[in-house]
Amino acid sequence: MLHLRDMGRIYEKAYLDGKILPLKDATVSVASSAVLYGLSVYTVFPVCKGEGGLLGFRLAEHAKRLTNSARVIGIDASISEEELRAAAKEVLDANAIDEDAFVRVTLHVSELLPGVRTRGLETTLSIFVYEAACILPKEGARLKTSVWRRIPDYAIPSRAKVNGAYVNSALAKQDALDSGYDDCIFLDVAGHVCELSAANIFLVRDGVLYTPGRASDILEGISRATVLELARDLGIEAVERTIDLTELYIADEAFACGTSAFLTPVLEIDKRKVGNGEAGPLTTKLRALYADVQHGRAPEYTKFLTAF
């Protein structure tokens, strides 16, 4: 049985604190820090159907990001790659997954009414699986510069995937939707480009690939790191640096990337066409290779994949 939601179908069985439960029973208390203060950290990784079965993408990096997110905000918990694989396999098997899907893994601070603190508190791990539906139009996205600025590292660090911080993304995404766009572009407090509401951004100028650097209040995306590696392997110069908004206006190509955004062309920004308003050749090339890597069709990148 599946539950239908805007972001796709959710599978019926979930994992909570070491047990497989019906999704409706996999809950944390309304009095927990996770609910009261948004004090949870999470990661989402894709599993793709390859020739030999399901393949998880970059599990080691996802386990490390979950652990690092907890460390950044002071949660005393961690998860190893082996623990992540074992728990995720339980959920995948329980739901008999036989298609591309997303696995969302969350570490909740489940302590009841502890006040606004993070250390020495009870935690609970949850996992559920949902349809691998893209959060952006696959043919290409129209973006709007957000009226909301990205939360800076000195407030709530974007490199940590903290659930409560996504209020910032929700405000910016809703503003874009209300204005007739598909998503937003966040700027930092200095006016430089950060990312979309839940995806990193790249642009191409004169054959060179650019993306905001790690100090630009971005999530250090695993998809982002993969795209940079793929580009360099293809002989494409790839540069991480501060990006001005007007550079996007005059880019030859632009695209978004992330687990839930896949690799999606950006066709328009603030009512300005990007390039000729279509997916560019470099974007198209990287998009195809990225999909091949995740589905096990690129043997030189099997190091990224974990069999389930």
Find the CATH number of the domain harbouring 41.
3.30.470.10
Average pLDDT, stretch 257-269? 98
Do residues 58 and 226 make contact, with C-beta atoms less than 8 angstroms apart? yes
- Asked if residue 265 belongs to a domain, the reply is yes
Domain boundary among 93, 112, 131: 131
Q: Of 90, 105, 131, which one is at a domain's C-terminal end?
A: 131
Note the pLDDT of residue 19. Answer: 97
Residue 300 lies in a domain: no
Total domain count, the chain? 2
The CATH number linked to 261 is 3.20.10.10
Model pLDDT for residues 159-183, shown as the tens digit of each residue: 999 999 999 999 999 999 999 999 9
Instruction: Please check whether residues 121 and 60 belong to one and the same domain.
Output: yes
Statement to judge: residues 118 and 164 lie in one domain: no
127 shares a domain with 7: yes
For residue 164, what are the domain limits? 141-294
Share of the chain above pLDDT 70, in %: 98
Task: Give the 3-state secondary structure of residue 24.
Answer: helix
Q: Give the list of residues 6+ apart from residue 146 with CB closer than 8 angstroms, or none.
A: 172, 175, 176, 184, 185, 186, 187
101/229 same-domain check = no
Q: Is the predicted pLDDT of residue 195 greater than 90, yes or no?
A: yes
Given a cut of 80, is residue 246 above it in pLDDT?
Answer: yes
Q: Are residues 65 and 152 in the same domain?
A: no
Q: Examine the domain organization and report whether 224 and 127 are in the same domain.
A: no
Alpha-carbon gap, residue 149 to 147, rounded angstroms: 7
Q: Is 276 exposed, middle or buried (0-12, 13-18, 19+ CB in 10 A)?
A: exposed
Q: What is the mean pLDDT of the chain?
A: 96
Do both 186 and 254 map to the same domain? Answer: yes
User: pLDDT, tens digit, for every residue of 13-57?
Assistant: 999 999 999 999 999 999 999 999 999 999 999 999 998 899 999
Residue 217 has pLDDT above 90, yes or no: yes
* Residue 240 domain flag: yes
How high is the pLDDT of residue 8?
77
Domain boundary pick from 131, 166, 199: 131
pLDDT of residue 6: 60
Residue 2 has pLDDT above 90, yes or no: no
pLDDT at residue 1 is higher than 50: no
Tell me what pLDDT residue 5 has.
Answer: 52
What is the mean predicted confidence (pLDDT) over 101-116? 97
Taking the alpha carbons at both ends of the chain, their separation in whole angstroms is 21
Residue 306 domain-assigned (yes or no) = no
Coil, strand or helix at 48: strand
Q: How many CB atoms lie within 10 A of CB 210?
A: 22
The reported pLDDT for the residue numbered 52 is 86
Same domain? 176 vs 220: yes
Each residue of 53-99: pLDDT tens digit? 999 999 999 999 999 999 999 999 999 999 999 999 999 999 999 99
Question: Once rounded to an integer, what is the mean pLDDT over residues 144-150?
Answer: 98
Same domain for 188 and 258? Answer: yes
Question: DSSP H helical segments within the chain, as ranges?
Answer: 33-37, 59-73, 81-94, 166-178, 222-233, 245-249, 281-294
